[in-house]
Amino acid sequence: MGKKGKRDKKGKGAEKTAAKMEKKVSRRAKKEEEDLEALIAEFQSLDAKKTQVIESSCPPPSPRLNCSLCAHPERDELILFGGEYFNGQKTYLYNELYIYHIRKNSWAKLDIPNPPPRRCAHQAAVVPTAGGQLWIFGGEFASPNGEQFYHYKDLWVLHLATKTWEQIKAPGGPSGRSGHRMVACKRQLIIFGGFHESARDYIYYNDVHTFHLDSFTWSKLAPAGIGPAPRSGCQMTPTPEGNIIIYGGYSKQRIKKDVDKGTLHTDMFLLKAEGAGKEEDRWTWSRLSPSGVKPTPRSGFSVAAAPNNRCLLFGGVHDEEEEESLEGDFFNDIYFYDIGKNRWFPAQLKGPKAEKRKRRRGRQAEAEAAGEEELQLPPPQAPLEIVKEVVAEDGTVMTIKQVIPAAAEDKDKSGSEEEEEEEEEEEGGALGQPLEPCPRSNAMVAVKHGVLYVYGGMFEVGDRQVTLSDLHCIDLHRMDEWKVLLEMDPKTQEWLEESESDEEEDDDVEGAEGGEEEEESSEEESEDEGGEQQHPAVQPGEAQAQYVARTEQYWLRLARSHMGPEAKDKKVLKVAHAMAKTFYEDA
């Protein structure tokens, strides 16, 4: 009795601490949210001017993160809503609605009156009721400088048949949050976890709420057993029996003033309903210990339901925290979880077998006609590293590396078969190496007719965040190869360094103060007796950075003369620095 009493007291103490923290965060966030409410109201007044439904063909959506992507329950369409884009200095929020037509491989923008306010990191789920419904809960709105946050606790439904938005106002729902997870299961929307953040504080949740789609009422569950620790960004999967599986996620806690410690969760839980789908169901948490090969620890992964009573996990990132930096390893792999067998296993691409067999038969016939004898076995294939360089509009070169593992060895293959497959890979083209999506985190995924669609996501190059807008798909039944439906457009990439605007202002001031003097010196530097241009010499023992800083104005003028007055200042600056570094290295 004594030990049980201590455990009960400890549990109640933890609940009280969590309640106090939630109140503290709520008080501090209230002022921020009041400031942002005016901005949200301004955007809503603009949306209120929409009076009719307009669907129009359009280019693919601009790059964005933390939007939602769902498969239409009745049509061959994907539905994309909301999201955010950060260009290094400013955050943009969206409440646009896009439709991707799978058969046509085309996009359409759908303008519907009275949409939800702009948001990101919300959750969306579709149900087949009345021609299809898209339900949306929560998410966040950020100030343009990304320092203030408003967390939504509203619930919306898009009636797909009539193309109308409706806000559902029912009491007793979850508190405002983002990074939570929501699934549709047995005529209920079930919401778990998430976080709420203000400028100075944050709190993570592990509560469970259900919204009943028949009665339009909220219920907060109080499951028995020990459940997951508070977290966001986890995997949440419904089972055919009406249970819920939770895997992984991320949370952080403050270990001392201004010092936070992040945790990558790798545990797995089952939330079991002890009833027959009634609102008074009893729920119980239990820990799962799956067999097989679990995904490596990561955050920012994407999840979707897969055929054959499975769910899948795609991509993500594992951040390695060092003293003053954060390096991330990004992934583009797929892991399957077999719900019935409670087993994880990594996906393996099989390759386009039918076409290979066809070519192989043709080559075998040729070999037999020529009287070809035994062929020697080729050496084992090593993993192939593909390096692709993408040049953004501002001139930045982004290098994307992909390591494609060698195909698993098949002992039943003959030497000629292995050699022919190797030749096919060397020839490239349709039968070359698979065009996998580059490693990324926070991709949007959806499954329709057993095909997985992966849209966008992000990766990092140094301090720069690259927000993707490409689209890939793969048949989960065949697992033969990835198909590229939409490639990333480098022209959509923009990144403004924090200090760039200040540097440009300083350059403008310097130019205004010393224009004539600089002009005269440039003329002296740029011409010699033969009329050829003489660049500033590198001084003995001068480091590259010192040389670039000392001669920056000269190279800026030279770059501007080549690029013309219409070129953007930041692009001219990058070219000038590149010219200076090239001259330094040649010297």
CB 180 within 8 A of CB 121: no
Kindly report the average pLDDT of the chain as a whole number.
Answer: 79
Q: Residue type at 463? A: D
Tens of pLDDT, residue by residue over 76-114, are 999 999 999 998 888 999 999 999 999 999 999 999 999
Residue 540 banded pLDDT, cuts 50, 70, 90: confident
Between vectors from CA 113 to CA 107 and to CA 114, what angle results, nearest 5°?
Answer: 120
- Among 202, 329, 174, 199, CA closest to 264: 329
CB 192 within 8 A of CB 246: yes
Tens of pLDDT, residue by residue over 442-457, are 999 999 999 999 999 9
Cα distances from 549 to residues 426, 504, 546, in angstroms, run 47, 14, 5
pTM of the shown model: 0.71
Across 10-24, 472-486, 514-528, least confident range: 514-528
Residue 233 reports pLDDT greater than 50? yes
CB 468 within 8 A of CB 457: yes
Across 28-32, 241-245, 259-263, least confident range: 28-32
Residue 507 reports pLDDT greater than 80? no
Cα distances from 359 to residues 356, 428, 430, 563, in angstroms, run 5, 14, 12, 51
Q: Report helix, strand or coil for 204.
A: strand
Contacts (Cβ under 8 Å, ≥6 apart) of 494? 87, 88, 392, 393, 394
Tens of pLDDT, residue by residue over 155-204, are 999 999 999 999 999 999 999 999 999 999 999 999 999 999 876 789 99
- In the chain, how many H helices and how many E strands? 8, 32
Cα separation, 145 vs 326, in Å, equals 21
Q: Please give the average per-residue pLDDT across 300-322, as a whole number.
A: 91
Cα separation, 268 vs 289, in Å, equals 7
Lay out the sheet containing 282-287: strands in order across: 235-238, 244-256, 259-274, 282-287
- Helical pair 552-563 and 569-586, crossing angle rounded to 10 deg: 120
Rounded to the nearest angstrom, the gap between the alpha carbon of residue 164 and the centroid of all alpha carbons in its chain is 28
Q: Residue type at 477? A: H
440 DSSP assignment: B
Cα separation, 97 vs 94, in Å, equals 9
Query: What percentage of the chain carries pLDDT values higher than 90?
Result: 50
- What are the DSSP calls for 481-528, one per residue? -EEEEE---GGG-----TTHHHHHHHHHHHHHHSHHHHHHHHHHHH--
Residue 500 banded pLDDT, cuts 50, 70, 90: very low
Cα separation, 496 vs 89, in Å, equals 6
Cα separation, 340 vs 346, in Å, equals 17
